[in-house]
Amino acid sequence: MKKLILLPWTLLWISCSSSIQPDPIDHDEHSFARPEEVVVTHLDLDIEVNFTKKELTGKASLSIKNKKNFRQLHLDTRGLAIHKVTIGKEEKSTAFQLGNPVRYLGQELIIDIEPSTDLVNVYYSTGAEADALQWLEPAQTADKKHPFLFTQSQAILARTWVPCQDSPGIRMTYSARVKCPTELWAVMSAENDTVKNDEGIYTFKMTNPIPAYLLALAVGDLKFQSLGQRSGVYTEPSVLGRAAYELADTEKMIEAAEKLYGPYRWGRYDLIVLPPSFPFGGMENPRLTFATPTILAGDRSLVSLVAHELAHSWSGNLVTNATWNDFWLNEGFTCYFERRIDEAVFGKEFAEMEAKLGEHDLLEQIKEFGPDSADTRLWLNLHGRNPDDAGSDIAYDKGYSFLRLIEEKVGRDRFDQFLKKYFNTFAFQSMTTKKFIAYLREELIQGDLELEKKIRIDEWAYQTGLPDNCPKPQSDAFTNVEEQVRSWMTGKPAKELMSTNWSTPEWRHFLRSLPATMKKTQMDELDAAFKFSKSGNSEIIFEWLNHVIVNKYEAGYPQLETFLTSMGRRKFLKPLYQKLAETQDGLQMAKKIYAKARPMYHAVSTSTIDEILKWKA
């Protein structure tokens, strides 16, 4: 991955990165909105989905609150064609202007209003630049019969399909009416129907206020299956059985989560398993998690992803990072919460193995950035950068480690009480790093200087690298795995290793613990013994393919190509393309595969891979 974009300010930050930096004001510089003047409180969306033109057309009616007789409303848009804007229920026409386009931020939409205006109606269509939308041809779906559309609004892509105030610090309720082809079913991050209708018209309601990045829509040939009293899964018909089997523990996870940090506040918790081009593992769209089919391993071994997305119903969706600089407040908390759910449902050993894998990712990430890189801090300064390009394991696993450290120092009971109160106190509000730390000191540290010294809060939040009081997860299962690797390297045949009943985390750790370079005969032996090339488990395939690339193991190339052309999950794509690009032959192979695969990837993934391969679209 590229390190930093070395703009002058970045150099400045690096040079003083070891000193403590306070947050600047809470202003979100990735949005044109001015919520301190006029703020959107409700969105009513009325749109039609046109698969032929790959376009959404319709009207966004925004209820607004004017803080002090302001005469302009500022919205975010990117690539939208604005046809007409009116104000009030009576739809009086009004003037509007679009600002100059700014790279990845789009264009400011400035609408003239009257001090008494409480409703603004924007008539619009999406354009070719609508990066939130992925339109799939029938051939790109599992069942290959109907087209499919899904959105991905995080971090700042909601503005590419809805004119809105696209900042995580601004919340609104929403309602929607979506018209789609009659053979398809539309679902949103809102109250959904659990039966398909014949008119192709669906209505939705989200009565809890949410930030714009949680707006989500999927349209396709869907079926629904219940998983329990308040949970279920939507997928294409042919995937439904497998998905329902894999996700059977969902209800147990909701119960475990509620026991930890208080009631689930969103009503139902459903999932939709999307076609394979979905760029993420999961997206925590409220009431309806969007998930990749790469979690369908056939043995329920990859469902901690569900624990993660479910945990976001508290950390992220309920208490939300105020700006993308505070992203760790969403992801670090969610990683911590996820592993607590894992522990409650699957046991301590499983949760510790997951934590060990996370620790490995964290150390690798810090090594890649360099320990003095400003990108290794929890609180980030994303000035001048696209927040979508700046996400890394730091927010997730350094954030996790920080919270685990606090837990270890104050004791689990006290920490759990603190977190429960935190989610309750700040429910449906946004949070900055500074505000969180103030609350932490007030509620938990309470002037205890010894405790403060043991935790070193400011060092964790604002300084680079990894503090030396970082907690160390312990796993006996992983110690055994490491022993098996050592035995193999000192001559024990692979098929005689003690690997019976290993879980997915153990296999992942095994593959990660193997030497970086191996001979062809060693790769042959491993594959003959453990059938990595036949695995149906995406995490195991991924770890194996890393060795295939580094060792130029030609027998593994067909599997590599199949994997890269059959799913679009950025977490897998990015490191594999990166590794390929390290050698001349590899780069050539990568480009050949990418030419085939690119049309199937989402814009979130192609923007990353284009850069790795220096691809000119």
Q: Give the residue numbers annotated as catalytic, written as ranges.
A: 309, 396
User: Would you say 312 or 509 has its CB closer to Zn ion?
Assistant: 312
**Do 549 and 580 touch, CB atoms closer than 8 A?**
yes
Shortest Cβ 34–Zn ion spacing (Å): 29
| Least distance CB 280 / Zn ion (angstroms) | 8
Give the footprint of Zn ion on residues 27-46 (CB under 5 A): none
x/- contact string, 211-240, with Zn ion (CB under 5 A)? Answer: ------------------------------
Question: Judged by CB, which is closer to Zn ion: 313, or 538?
Answer: 313
Of the candidate spans 79-87, 225-233, 323-331, 472-480, the one that interacts with Zn ion by CB under 5 A turns out to be: 323-331
**Selected range binding Zn ion among 193-201, 237-245, 271-279, 324-332, rule: CB under 5 A:** 324-332
Taking CB under 5 A as the binding criterion, the range among 202-210, 213-221, 328-336, 421-429 that sits at the site for Zn ion is 328-336
Q: Which is nearer to Zn ion, 235 or 313 (CB)?
A: 313
Collect all residues with Cβ–Cβ distance below 8 Å to 2 and sequence separation of at least 6. 611
| 321 vs 464 by CB, closer to Zn ion | 321
What's the rounded Cα separation, in Å, for the pair 564 and 379? 33
Distance from chain centroid for Cα 479:
31
Using the minimum distance from each CB to Zn ion, give the nearer residue, 17 or 334: 334
Stretch that binds Zn ion, among 19-27, 326-334, 365-373, 551-559 (CB under 5 A): 326-334
CA triplet 176, 180, 182: central angle to 5 degrees? 130
Distance CA 304, CA 601 (A): 24
In the bound complex, what is the minimum distance in angstroms from residue 470's beta carbon to Zn ion? 21
DSSP state of 409: H
CB of 573 to Zn ion, least distance (A): 18
Residue placing its CB nearer to Zn ion in the complex, 123 or 280: 280
Tokens of 94: 């009004």
Burial (CB count <10 Å: 0-12, 13-18, 19+), residue 450: exposed
**Is the dihedral angle over the CA atoms 491, 493, 494, 498 positive or is it negative?**
negative
Which CB, 86 or 304, lies closer to Zn ion?
304
Q: Name the minimum Å distance from CB 326 to Zn ion.
A: 14
Q: Name the one range near Zn ion by CB under 5 A: 126-134, 252-260, 317-325, 331-339.
A: 331-339
Cβ-based nearer residue to Zn ion, 571 or 591: 571
Residue 213: CB minimum distance to Zn ion, A: 12
> Taking the alpha carbons of 526, 530, 535, 537 in that order, is the dihedral positive or negative?
negative
Token reading at 119: 């409703």
Report H helices in 426-513: 433-440, 449-455, 457-462, 476-489, 504-513
Query: Which one of the spans 158-166, 329-337, 423-431, 595-603 is the region binding Zn ion (CB under 5 A)?
Result: 329-337
CB 136 within 8 A of CB 90: no
Q: Which positions ≥6 away from 178 have C-beta within 8 Å?
A: 45, 47, 48, 49, 186, 188, 201, 202, 203, 204, 217, 219
Total residues binding Zn ion (CB under 5 A)? 2
Structure tokens at 355: 């934590």
Contact 154, 309 (CB under 8 A): no
Q: Which run of H or E residues covers position 259?
A: helix 250-261
Tokens of 584: 């001349």
* Among candidate residues 598, 535, 607, the one with its CA nearest the CA of residue 568: 598
The distance of closest approach from Cβ of residue 309 to Zn ion in the complex, given in angstroms and rounded to an integer, is 7
Pair of tokens at residue 260: 């930890």
Closest approach, Cβ 395 to Zn ion, in A, equals 9
Residues that bind Zn ion (CB under 5 A): 331, 334
